[in-house]
Structure 1
Amino acid sequence: MSQHRNVRFGTFGDVLAAMRQAKILEEVRRTGGARVAQLTALLGVSDMTVRRDLETLDRKGLLSKVHGGATAMETASAVEPGFEVTSLREVPEKEAIATRAAELVRPGMAIAITAGSTTWTLARHLGDIANLTVVTNSLKVAEVLHGRQRPDLTVVLTGGLRTPSDGLVGPVAVQAIRSLHVDMVIMGVHGIDERAGLTTPNLLEAETNRALVESARRLVVVADHTKWGVVGLAQIAPLRAVTTLLTDDRLPAHAAEVLSEQVPEVIIIPTSEPEFDPDEDPDEADDTER
């Protein structure tokens, strides 16, 4: 008997609202704060629309709504943002990183995937890899892979306590992970720092992720440029434990140098459009490409 799940598709209005809100978040994070008048001019919508968007984002904990505008949320080493928050950030960068990371996964592999919005994005690119076994402590990742309904795709979901990022952590998860051995673990992280290494604000998540690192032959980290310089409360692993790190081309040059000194393979994925040179002859460019 076939099983059907009820899926609610968003309306076109929902999509427009999400796009507006993502733009508002980008502007508020870039400047530290913005007034309603500035945002209405930027988006070309009414004051009322902007105020509704700000109220929505404030309720979700993405920014702080203040009189006449909004300010960016202050970060802290022990504050863990929820999945709904992180999934709206650096979407093009995460998509590019996830697409490239999926190329590292081969048919027949057993891999582990940690919780996070970048790894969730990655999961959507793994559906066509044959004979794949995935161990994960992420409810979101498991949901994506389970939706493929493929007989040669095995998903092992660890138990544990649920985190704001929809990860399962704690003693139950650690015990399950320590009984397994995988070819690689693909890990998303809260922060990467030259001295602190890979970090997270959640103590239980750090312990769980350390168990995943110990279970794998290879540690692959997927992290966009905003993770550099961020230090969470607990260390997962030092930089030298990383086998491969994938990030985007907005990573500072200094950070790329530091990473290349400690990580054997650093893959920087281009995400920005190439600049147009008005003095370049289009015909010459075409001939060069050919």
Structure 2
Amino acid sequence: MGVVTALAGIGDAAFWAALLAKMGASAAIVVLASLAVERAGPLVGAMIATLPLSAGPAYTFLALDHDAAFLRDSAVASLPAIAATALFIATYAGAARRHGVAASLAAALAVWIAAALLLNRLGGGLWIAGLVTTLVILACIGACRSFRAGGPLPGRPKRAGDVLVRAGIVMALVVAVVLAGRLAGPGAAGILAFAPVVMVSLAVILHPRIGGAATATVLTLSLPGLLGFVAALVALALTIERFGPALALPLALVINVGWNGGILLASRPRRRHAVPPPRPPSLETDS
């Protein structure tokens, strides 16, 4: 009966009007952010990529359609998706140095789907999911250590179709999340909300233009930023029912942004106290 009601709501014109608005808003956010990624350098770009560019709007729209308990369950279900994204990045980074974008993406997405489904079946609640996700991310950081070295991104020509690719990917995700939330419940919605949309967009755009090695550098530099997602989701799950979406969602955003900002500050080279150069020997002699 619930599925019939959900299907009836999907057929309503107001539903599709709201969905189109959600698709447009989310696409605009991710397109603008991914353009910034390409101009900010590998580390800054990686930290931008691990902001909740697609998940944030997805959770905001879920909050408009569902209650706090639904969002809490979605947050717990999102944690395995974060672990799967770490495995996606590790797989792509390893494949991109030897293969093209299509083969690398196919392998990485297959790993993401399998990992998200498998880890989601483990259960255990919020704390077990958070611990497992953290351990997976740390393992991927260690495994990808050799891929992190890299200088500034090489120059690349602009292509008008890039914007359409990025917009199309994120709009497809918004549709999937909204429909999953209505038809399949919080588990599917939570997993899809953290599908690696930004990572896929960056791979599709950057790999053909700057090469697989440089793209692998950008993606692997984003792995520490995924730990900010874990902290934000745990905070969201703990606060959403007590404080409501109006406070819990901004708090999760602040945690995520603060974590990435801390990584950037910690990565800044420390300025050493300048040692004054020795004075040249005086030409004057003592009389």
Q: Tell me the TM-score range normalised by the shorter chain.
A: under 0.3
Which is richer in strand?
1
Higher RCO by CA contacts (8 Å cutoff, separation 6 or greater): 2
Kindly name which structure, 1 or 2, has the bigger radius of gyration based on alpha carbons.
2
Could you tell me the TM-score, scaled by structure 2's length? Answer: 0.24
TM-score under structure 1 length normalisation: 0.23
